[in-house]
Structure 1
Amino acid sequence: MRRAASGNSGQIIPWPTPGTDFKSVPVTPQSVHCAAEPGTPPVNDTLNAQLSLWSPRYWPVHVGMTLGWLTAHLPFGVQMGLGRILGDCAYYLMRERRRVARTNLGLCFPELDTEARRTLLREHFRSLGLGVIETAMSWWTPTARLRGLARIEGLEHLHAALDAGRGVILLSAHFTTLEIGGRLLSLHAPFHVLYRRHKNAAFEAVMQRARERHFEKAIARDDMRGMLKSLKANIPVWYAPDQNYGAEHSIFVSFFGIPASTITATARLARISGARVVPFFQERLPGTGGYRLKLYPALENFPTDDEAADTQRVNTLIETEIRKTPAQYLWAHRRFKTRPPGEAPVYKEQL
């Protein structure tokens, strides 16, 4: 497998609109390198930037990161216990997110009675707490300790897709196990990861270092050239398109029977690059059972000429996987915030 070429920082470009002529876009090692890896600035600027991350306003982040590092070195059973306690605390303290999650569960699981949805909501917040601990684990737990925590199914599907030589889009979704799942897969196969920049500069710096240490390269979500460069080098790119990114470059397709604003970039990126799309999901097993990583065969006849059908296919695939472990999905996200024209807001805080 060839590695992506290194170079200076590239221009961040938005998601392409239909009709964009990508053959006219110059692609060079200098112009396509990950936008999250800027070119070398003057020494004084670098020093000042590093020192600014230690200003008092960032101290809570550093305290949190220190606690995360310590937690990452605890026994696995203790980590799982702490995660559940953290989730129980979050259930009572994060009232707004609890309202969002309750609304989402009511919309997506109308067949459940009130008590069943309440139980699912509590389980979801415990899963959120576990996800926080697992994020720390994915960043700082030694590799030797992680190796025994997961069993992987379907790795041959990734290898078969790579044999085509056009790159692979690892299609995933925002489960609370997302970070630990990616870290565990990285022990079996190298890949590049897409990420969304964090508004807090100190947290962003820590997250960026951790991800690039384990995933070789972290690509900003809006760096289309960086993604295309990785795929052209036949390097898998890990990608989760299931959140609400607004109306731009999105269409409304069904998600649990609800019209959901969904970006069309999965099919568009596959069409531009010729990459195969391999679904990748992870599951947290009960107790201290660890994790199951699942890779499925590459999608056949994807993409097609029907953008709406392709986008619906992605949503249906993700929905099917969510129904297997519903508590582990990120229900606290405002997935239905963007509504079709004329439709009332879903979340009360939008009123």
Structure 2
Amino acid sequence: MARKHTTIHLLEYAALKIALAFFAMMGLDRASAAGGRLARLVGPKVGVSNRARANIRRAMPELSPEEVERIVVGMWENLGRTIGEYAHLERFARPEERHRIEVVGAGALRAMAEANCGGVFVSGHFANWELLPVVMQLEGLEGGEVYRHANNPFVNEWMVSLRESVTSATQIPKGGTGARLIVRLMQEGKFVAMLTDQKMNDGVEARLFGLRAMTPAAPAGLAVRYNIPVVPACIERVGGAHFRITVYNPITAKPGADPFEDTLRITQEINDFLEARIRARPHEWLWLHDRWSVKPWQRQRLAAAQEEDMLE
């Protein structure tokens, strides 16, 4: 079985490298456009698109079937563009390509960098989500980015290597090792970027589109423990391989508040931010995640934890 998995992983990795070599032969703009055209033609026909359709209907039941389908097609075009842009990701960090990324609220970022207070940037899988660490570097913020280990080890190694070649951000894997890295960065007054829109079984239950959703609690927990700001950011595609990144007002811990309750509050505020941004540009969010399923054992564990907290 292990040999079979290794063979599949190698084939997946080979297919990825061939696709990237194809896009690398083009310029950035042509690669983005070609990836978008190909994905919008093929993507809506593959089976996983049914999960996207179900997620959209569940989150926004007021939409018509035609509106749902337009979102699915747009999602695939954005995803295809993002894949095409992976072959040229390092270009976004070059000074001569700065015109490709507009940063709204850059002054607040530079002020935080000068204050050396540290913080957590949170966003979701919007537009080209790989650009958040690039923006951190362009605005002079040192720190790292949290990533989820890819199921394919060959793809994971390639992704980490690519990100390390694009920015100086420390690559932080989810898990115990990553947690220790985050603590060190917080103690040094640095910044960590996180995408918090995926389901996390070991997170806390919050609401997203009014639905129960297991949500990462790390950003809120860090805010409460280290008294640092959680800074929401949204990435928008504003034409081809050009983007706008908007930095919003920070979310902070309340002095004297119960740590557990404040962690839940901040986590919900993050989800509210994500929902608002998704509603504004639903075609640029990745609807393919299994975002809302909550298993019975998770509900039991959460209920027990909350009951224990009330008794203390």
TM-score range, shorter chain: 0.7 to 0.9
- For 1:329-344, what aligned pairs fall within 5 Å after superposition? 329-339=285-295
- For 1:99-178, what aligned pairs fall within 5 Å after superposition? 99-139=50-90, 143=94, 146-178=97-129
Q: Could you say if the C-alpha distance between residues 269 and 142 of structure 1 is closer, same or farther in structure 2, counting changes exceeding 3 Å?
A: closer
Q: Could you say if the C-alpha distance between residues 139 and 93 of structure 1 is closer, same or farther in structure 2, counting changes exceeding 3 Å?
A: farther
Structure 2 equivalent of residue 3 of structure 1 = none
Q: 1:160, 1:140 → 2: CA distance?
A: 26
- For 1:1-351, what aligned pairs fall within 5 Å after superposition? 58=10, 60-62=12-14, 64-72=16-24, 74-95=26-47, 97-139=48-90, 143=94, 146-189=97-140, 190-216=142-168, 217-222=170-175, 223-246=178-201, 248=202, 250-286=203-239, 288=240, 290-301=242-253, 304-305=257-258, 306=261, 307-339=263-295
Once the two structures are superposed, what CA deviation does each residue of 1:196-232 show, in whole Å capped at 9, x if it has no partner?
1123222122111111223321011222110011122
Q: What letter matches 1:256 in structure 2?
A: F
Shift of 1:272: 2.1
Shift of 1:141: 6.8
Shift of 1:129: 1.1
Q: 1:232, 1:342 → 2: CA distance?
A: 32
Shift of 1:341: 6.7
Q: 1:57, 1:199 → 2: CA distance?
A: 9
Q: What letter matches 1:227 in structure 2?
A: I
Conservation of the 8 A alpha-carbon contact between 1:228 and 1:273: no
Shift of 1:162: 3.4
Q: Which runs of 5+ in 2 are unaligned?
A: 1-5, 300-312
Shift of 1:163: 4.2
Q: 1:203, 1:342 → 2: CA distance?
A: 30
Conservation of the 8 A alpha-carbon contact between 2:122 and 2:232: yes
Shift of 1:324: 1.9
Q: Could you say if the C-alpha distance between residues 328 and 65 of structure 1 is closer, same or farther in structure 2, counting changes exceeding 3 Å?
A: same
Q: What letter matches 2:274 in structure 1?
A: I
Shift of 1:295: 1.3
Structure 2 equivalent of residue 4 of structure 1 = none
Q: What letter matches 2:68 in structure 1?
A: R
Shift of 1:72: 4.0
SS in 2 for 1:68: helix
Once the two structures are superposed, what CA deviation does each residue of 1:163-186 show, in whole Å capped at 9, x if it has no partner?
443311111112242014443543
- Quote the sequence identity (%): 23
Conservation of the 8 A alpha-carbon contact between 1:175 and 1:328: yes
Q: Which runs of 5+ in 1 are unaligned?
A: 1-53, 344-351
Q: What letter matches 2:232 in structure 1?
A: P
Once the two structures are superposed, what CA deviation does each residue of 1:26-46 show, in whole Å capped at 9, x if it has no partner?
xxxxxxxxxxxxxxxxxxxxx
Conservation of the 8 A alpha-carbon contact between 1:168 and 1:234: yes
Q: Could you say if the C-alpha distance between residues 151 and 142 of structure 1 is closer, same or farther in structure 2, counting changes exceeding 3 Å?
A: closer
Conservation of the 8 A alpha-carbon contact between 1:173 and 1:281: yes
Q: 2:275, 2:9 → 1: CA distance?
A: 40
Conservation of the 8 A alpha-carbon contact between 1:127 and 1:327: yes
Q: Could you say if the C-alpha distance between residues 142 and 151 of structure 1 is closer, same or farther in structure 2, counting changes exceeding 3 Å?
A: closer
Q: What letter matches 1:116 in structure 2?
A: E
Conservation of the 8 A alpha-carbon contact between 1:152 and 1:294: yes
Q: TM-score, normalised by structure 1?
A: 0.73
SS in 1 for 2:17: helix
Residues matched between the structures, number? 286
Q: Could you say if the C-alpha distance between residues 119 and 57 of structure 1 is closer, same or farther in structure 2, counting changes exceeding 3 Å?
A: closer
